[in-house]
Chain A
């Protein structure tokens, strides 16, 4: 199992050790976390999430405890959940590309192919009330968080049945129900918003005295790590000890700008300890490694110990967006990462460790294919938004449209939704 995940990481140049657990190749400075997940005994890790498991898993727990050297990181159920989520992400994005080239989708579409391990690894550990904040590359984050494929596809088609009624689009996936807080086009914009959501969680606990241990996960890229807002938030999150996890999806490229060309110190995880929080580097093409790091970071946040910065080294198989010709990236680099496809790796792990067989995995793939096809049909068949929707939802309080010529609030006018503009 370890061999599938132990390819060398270009930034470090040294080969990965065969470890079941976390792979930080540099030890964080002794004063900080130490979570060093390296020193984390397997036992404690299991105990931490034993409560969340089903009885079948408990049996494996016992087996694991008896034979620590032969422990698997996941159970069959968990493995299948992870596999399904990654396949959903991949199929959905591939379908998006097809639909875009057929003209059904338009504008800016940024696909997540290749990075599924990060989204699945983190978001599958969260509860419904935990929040996720993302960037414009947010389709898969929304799907992992629980927004239905139908709703996301309709949103991309600009139909009224989309998760934001067609008003947001590819880059602005919001879902209050699933606590998917967007979907932001400006890089770095989501980080302070995520910090604010984490702030609310702490405020609810301390000031409003509610029982709240929700955490927030902020996803952003390597380019964002050169943006001022990132540092401002690292500072404040550590200062106020907020329950947030900053996840850097370092795919080494910001459109055509290589991370190494634009950053004075390309090792992003190091920036965490500078602000007093642990910084962890993990292989983002390996969903199990990401999941292990995520478990520790999430439970740290839930315990009230504060933020963590996790740098996931990953890769996007497609260009920055569907309009990007992707000419600057070296074919050899692409091939190298394609060989480390997270889905193939997990499949291999599941089969080699007898957690699932080909048949079961094929069933899942077929199921997802059908789901995505159905989502496209649903989106195609849905109507476009009505004209009156143009002026709706500008304000939560419609009195914000002011007072009409008759001295009464405009929103009380029976013809209000027809708007005052000529549409």
Chain B
């Protein structure tokens, strides 16, 4: 593994695309992560997860646009073609509906495809297969045909890519029974959840984030082990707190943690929950936390109406209403297609200040 890492490093895996190499400060890492002196980018984490699963099980194969010779549009599948050959790493033509359907058919027949969408926006061309042939099959066939497929790719807004490349699909896929929807944040999440997804016998939609690919996170020895797996359906409490619960996923976890630090300066102790799994949603953890703090702020990047936050708020109001001291707060992206201009894009997405403001609102309302 060390050798593989070394090779990956030499190939400059952190290069290409937007590499926001921000290392965590020591205090944050001591508080939030398992004590580990190694760091890993999310990109490396995903690459190593796919690599290990492919070497463990010959039925796993990768399919997508530019995953082979181009080494992956975002270099996630770097080195896999050289290692496993063209029979296991397929560069497809630009036919989302076609190759997604082929992946689903292969999963019906017993293989374990990992289908990459260059971004989840392109999955809309294949959404019929994700939902109708993959998600619903186990149910329609009464358990005869399960579909052990993983659909992965970057989701949500990147930087200045415009309206058609910036939508967040978490809410859409998470509303479908039969799918499991995961959204990792850190490198540990990325590794553990992707390995769990590939091993899972059901269809998994794995929503990554392009801006997180280049970010480094500390990673423990345990997470580097090839049998490391995170449970699907369990959220992680990134930061303990007692005044307000901030629930979020993917890139917004980073923002929430920063907001929590700002709030700490003002005497508000925020508990940050990293959902990790959008479906099944870990309602138990969210509700337990809200019962402890009595206030809820949910954050997501996607469109506000019928979003993931709406579901979380509904769940909390249904199950922990009497524990709430303030109305639930919901922060989502602006209800507009993503604009291109940098300042407008910043306005269209939740920022750290928005989370801080909402948390303060939740705290002062009770007074």
Contact = CB atoms under 8 A, between A and B. Distances in A.
A394 interface: yes
Interface in A150-196: 164-169, 172, 174-177, 181-186, 189, 191-196
Contact of A184 (B59, B132, B178, B283): B132
A196 B102 contact: yes
Contacts of A70: none
Contact of B139 (A184, A197, A393): A393
B104 A196 contact: yes
B61 A203 contact: yes
B220 interface: no
Interface string B134-157: 000111111111101000000000
B110 interface: yes
A41 interface: no
A208 interface: yes
A228 B139 contact: no
A191 B98 CA distance: 8
Contacts of A315: none
Contact of A402 (B128, B178, B282): B282
A33 B196 CA distance: 45
A184 B133 contact: yes
A203 B145 contact: no
B208 interface: no
A207 interface: yes
A192 B98 contact: yes
Contacts of B144: 164, 174-177
B177 A394 contact: yes
Interface residues of B, number: 57
A184 B128 CA distance: 11
A200 B109 contact: yes
B101 A229 contact: yes
Nearest to A207: B87
B131 to A, nearest CB: 10
Interface in B100-121: 100-111
B142 A236 contact: no
A366 to B, nearest CB: 33
A265 interface: no
Nearest to B178: A394
Interface stretch (B6-14, B30-38, B67-75, B88-96): B88-96
A135 to B, nearest CB: 13
A195 B102 contact: yes
B280 interface: yes
Contacts of B282: 402-403
Interface in B226-285: 231-234, 277, 280-285
Given A167-B142, A236-B92, A394-B178, A192 B111 contact: no
B117 to A, nearest CB: 15
B326 interface: no
B98 A181 contact: no
B138 A395 contact: yes
Given A201-B109, A207-B87, A193 B141 contact: no
Interface string A392-413: 1111110111111111010000
B200 interface: yes
Interface string B215-227: 0000000000000
A261 to B, nearest CB: 25
B165 interface: no
Contacts of B201: 395-397
B145 A176 contact: yes
Contact of A397 (B99, B177, B200): B200
Given A174-B145, A192-B98, A236 B105 contact: no
Contacts of B59: 208
B180 interface: yes
A403 B233 contact: yes
Nearest to B88: A207
A206 interface: yes
Contact of B97 (A201, A229, A402): A229
Contacts of B186: none
A232 interface: yes
How many A residues touch the partner, as a band?
A: 35 or more
Contact of A233 (B101, B141, B234): B101
A92 interface: no
B128 A393 contact: no
Contacts of A206: 87
A168 B138 CA distance: 10
Given A174-B144, A229-B101, A396-B202, A203 B232 contact: no
B295 interface: no
B105 A193 contact: yes
A196 B128 contact: no
Given A195-B101, A196-B105, A197-B108, A400 B139 contact: no
B167 interface: no
A164 B58 contact: no
B217 to A, nearest CB: 24
A192 B101 contact: yes
Contacts of A172: 140-141
Given A176-B141, A184-B133, A185-B132, A401 B102 contact: no
B129 interface: yes
B101 A164 contact: no
Contact of B105 (A185, A192, A392, A402): A192
A400 B106 contact: no
B287 interface: yes
A120 interface: no
A236 B102 contact: yes
Nearest to A195: B102
Interface of B: 58-59, 61, 87-88, 92-93, 95, 97-111, 128-129, 132-133, 137-146, 148, 177-178, 180, 200-202, 231-234, 277, 280-285, 287-288
8 contacts: A168-B141, A174-B145, A181-B108, A181-B145, A196-B107, A207-B88, A208-B58, A393-B139
Across chains A and B, which 9 residue pairs bring their CB atoms closest together, nearest first? A196-B105, A192-B101, A232-B98, A402-B280, A174-B141, A396-B146, A200-B109, A402-B233, A165-B142
Given A233-B101, A399-B233, A402-B233, 20 more contacts: A164-B141, A165-B142, A176-B141, A176-B145, A181-B109, A185-B132, A192-B104, A193-B105, A196-B106, A201-B109, A206-B87, A208-B59, A229-B97, A393-B142, A400-B232, A400-B233, A401-B280, A403-B231, A403-B280, A403-B284
